[in-house]
Amino acid sequence: MSIEQEIREFSEHTELIDKISIIFKSMGDPTRIKILYALSKGPMNVTQISNVLQMSQSSISHQLAVLRSHNIIRVERVARNAIYSLDDEHIQCIFKDGLVHAKHRLG
Q: Are 43 and 85 in contact (CB under 8 A)?
A: yes
Q: Give residue-wise pLDDT tens across range 47-60.
A: 999 999 999 999 99
Of 71, 74, 60, nearest to 25 by C-alpha is: 71
Q: What is the CATH number of the domain that holds 75?
A: 1.10.10.10
Three-state secondary structure call for residue 88: coil
Q: Give residue-wise pLDDT tens across range 68-89.
A: 999 999 999 999 999 999 999 9
Host domain of residue 94: 3-106
pTM of the model: 0.91
Residue 107 has pLDDT above 90, yes or no: no
Residue 63: other Cβ atoms inside 10 A: 23
Burial class (CB in 10 A: 0-12, 13-18, 19+), 5: exposed
Domains of the chain: total: 1
Q: Give residue-wise pLDDT tens across range 30-47.
A: 999 999 999 999 999 999
Whole-number pLDDT of residue 89: 94
The DSSP line for 29-41 is SHHHHHHHHHHHT
Residue 1 has pLDDT above 90, yes or no: no
